[in-house]
Amino acid sequence: MPTFQLNDLIDKVRNGVSNRIWFFGAGALVAILVGVAGEIGLKNGHSAKNGQTVKIENEVPNPDQYIKSPAAAPIPPEKTLPETAMMLVAAEEEASPSDPDLPARTEPEISYEETLPETVHETATLSELEAPSNAKRSVIAPIKSVPNWRANAVVMGEIPPGPQIAIVIDDAGIDRRRTAQVIKLPGPLTISFLTYAGALDKQAAAAKKAGHELMVHMPMQPKSRDVDPGPNVLTPDTAPEETLKRILWGLDRFQGYVGVNNHMGSRFTEYVEGMEILLQEIKRRGLLFLDSRTSAKSVGAGIALAIDLPFAERNVFLDNVPEIAVVNKQLKLLENTAKRQGYAIAIGHPRDATIFALSQWLSVLAEKGFVQVPISTIVARRLGVARVTEVKN
């Protein structure tokens, strides 16, 4: 029985009976509750020993400490029709507080299917990339003269010399408490919000206000059947019309972002026809594409090159193993990559170990000679175009 109902019931009963009756009634109620609690306790890790109840303690992490995160549990499978996803999001937003800085109802963590960094080949240079032989090279003209990947970019001041590093935080918006912690990290970060997270306008606005760049994290089908990428997932088995419908739904969830990257997608990013639909719409909207590289056979960069779409590829995953020591090791790999090619892109997630490691590392990044930039700056560098210093439509 919920606490507020129990208190109301007690008040009503107490006002209607004498103190003597109340005393005995309360005693009986306590006895009943103790018995029920004991029965529940036996089902949840309590055991009896020498006539006493011994509680088998479960590990409860201290939120003020950063510890190893448990293995992420997959979110429950949902229907993937746009209408279903819209109902899910509407219900979630209604149940959650409007302030993204408050610890909102926390959804289950998402299972990560991403390929370990050492098993994915390094990012190809522009001269090495080839478009798939069956890729269509025609594209609808952009709808704005100033593309959104520049109009919505973080405006950088004078950028000092040195290797540039962009930190992209995927899966933002679902766990609002940790997303809020990410937003408080030194910027500019690039924060990629999952399409089906709740209160996206408020969370994205908070990230933008803090000086971070925004992206859309589009759910795409992985090869593994043991993980669920979420509602409205892009899949090779979906008709082209439905694929486009799901893409439009995701892209219309909030505003002010510079581009799109894939959530999971080791299967879908190998699917030429589906990736063409996605990247053509990204091109039409004047956005950029970041390939998370969950598959070494992804066709994303090749198609982007064929249709003249601004793009980049992830170099390093920070937290496939959510432990501080491992994240620090990956940050060192990121530094070495940036030194070698002049820039590097890392992807991490709103996890305790990642947040803690980044809070320490970002504070000394400039002292090490590196320059923290948003994803749009690196894309502009790769394309050989001027970085954004002001935006005029």
239 token code pair = 């008709």
pLDDT-derived band at 146, boundaries 50, 70, 90: confident
Which H helix or E strand runs over 164? strand 164-172
Which sign does the torsion angle of CA 68, 70, 71, 76 carry? negative
Domain map (residue ranges) of the chain: 3-55, 82-383
What distance in Å separates the CA atoms of residue 305 and residue 323, rounded to the nearest whole number? 36
Question: 82-383 is classed in which CATH architecture?
Answer: Alpha-Beta Barrel (3.20)
Is pTM beyond 0.75 here? no
CB distance 357 to 334 below 8 Å: no
Residue with tokens 């066709």: 299
Condensed to tens digits (0 to 9), the pLDDT of residues 235-251 reads 999 999 999 999 999 99
CA nearest neighbour of 192 among 379, 378, 375, 344: 375
For residue 342, count other CB atoms closer than 10 A to its CB.
13
Question: Given a cut of 90, is residue 378 above it in pLDDT?
Answer: yes
C-alpha 362 chain-centroid distance: 20
Higher-pLDDT residue of 218 and 129 is 218
pLDDT-derived band at 391, boundaries 50, 70, 90: low
Q: Are strands 46-49 and 52-55 parallel, antiparallel or unpaired?
A: antiparallel
CA nearest neighbour of 248 among 261, 234, 263: 234
Q: What is the mean pLDDT of residues 249-258?
A: 97
Question: Given a cut of 50, is residue 170 above it in pLDDT?
Answer: yes
Condensed to tens digits (0 to 9), the pLDDT of residues 51-98 reads 333 222 222 233 233 222 333 333 333 333 344 344 344 434 433 433
Higher-pLDDT residue of 282 and 32 is 282
Question: Given a cut of 80, is residue 139 above it in pLDDT?
Answer: no
